[in-house]
Amino acid sequence: MSSEKPLAIVAGAGAGLGQALAARFEDGGYQVVGFGRTKPDAVSGRFQKLDLADETAVPETIAGLMNEHGAPKVVIHNTAELVISPFLETSLQEYQSTWASMFLSAVLLAQSVIQPMVAAGGGAFLVSRATASLRGGARFSAFASAKFALRGLTQSLAREFQPAGIHVSHVILDGIIDTQRSRSLHDLDPAKMIRPADIAETYWQLAHQPKSTWTHELDLRPATEGF
């Protein structure tokens, strides 16, 4: 293996939260590899373009990465595809692309990494989600259905693999993440948004919790956010 640093994988390592996560774990001494469909202008760690819903490319790519660096200690699933549309105007293709991006990608990622992580002594599998994981809203049927499915998947993974040393944590991000794109889309004071670096710090803490106090589900929101 080319590096003695522990490996951290960020699936969905785009601009904003994905790169904040990559930067935090790189600063913490990890060999970070990020995957995504579009390479950000500024990259922390190593970035590789990958369709995370590709059932052939994902396991092959992850296997090659583990041959180089060993099993990961931290894996973060951070993909998203937002479809906002009335139910009767939402196409089957939009449902399929949303489910593939957020749910199927998590299945493929987990299938690729969990058994090697167990064999290597354990690690953390962290999943980024939203309020739609808990509550379906009007015009969010595609998005919420994928989020609900992913929440169920993470609960099942936690109950099956936590005894084997895999810390599965589901993080609900209740608020607008402060990025250049969100500032252009939302007329909202940045002080009322969630800072990507602050989210990344929380993920770092989750990934390093002692086994006597593992958190499975955590919700993060600005102090100004109603809930």
Q: Is residue 159 part of a domain?
A: yes
- Residue 19 contacts residue 13 (beta carbons within 8 Å): yes
pLDDT digit string, tens, across residues 122-163? 999 999 999 999 999 999 999 999 999 999 999 999 999 999
DSSP state of 177: B
Q: Is residue 2 part of a domain?
A: no
The bridge status of strand 74-77 relative to strand 7-11 is parallel
Can you read off the two tokens belonging to residue 167? 């810390």
What confidence score (pLDDT) does residue 4 get?
86
pLDDT-flagged residues of the chain (< 70): 1-3
As a whole number of angstroms, the distance between CA 191 and CA 210 comes to 32
The parent domain of residue 195 ranges over 7-220
Q: Is residue 225 part of a domain?
A: no
Q: Is residue 23 part of a domain?
A: yes
What confidence score (pLDDT) does residue 15 get?
93
What confidence score (pLDDT) does residue 190 get?
82
Q: Looking at the 3D structure of the chain, how many domains does it have?
A: 1
What confidence score (pLDDT) does residue 167 get?
98
What is the rounded radius of gyration, in angstroms, for the C-alpha atoms of the chain?
Answer: 17
Look up tokens 């004071």; give the residue. 189
Q: Is residue 30 part of a domain?
A: yes
Core vs surface per residue 131-147: b (16+ CB within 10 A) or e: bbbeeeeeebbbbbbbb
Q: Is residue 148 part of a domain?
A: yes
As a whole number of angstroms, the distance between CA 179 and CA 139 comes to 24
Domain CATH for 161 = 3.40.50.720
- Residue 74 contacts residue 123 (beta carbons within 8 Å): yes
What confidence score (pLDDT) does residue 16 get?
94
What confidence score (pLDDT) does residue 89 get?
98
What confidence score (pLDDT) does residue 182 get?
79
Give the E-state strand segments of the chain in sequence order: 7-11, 31-36, 46-49, 74-77, 123-130, 166-173, 217-220
Q: Is residue 227 part of a domain?
A: no
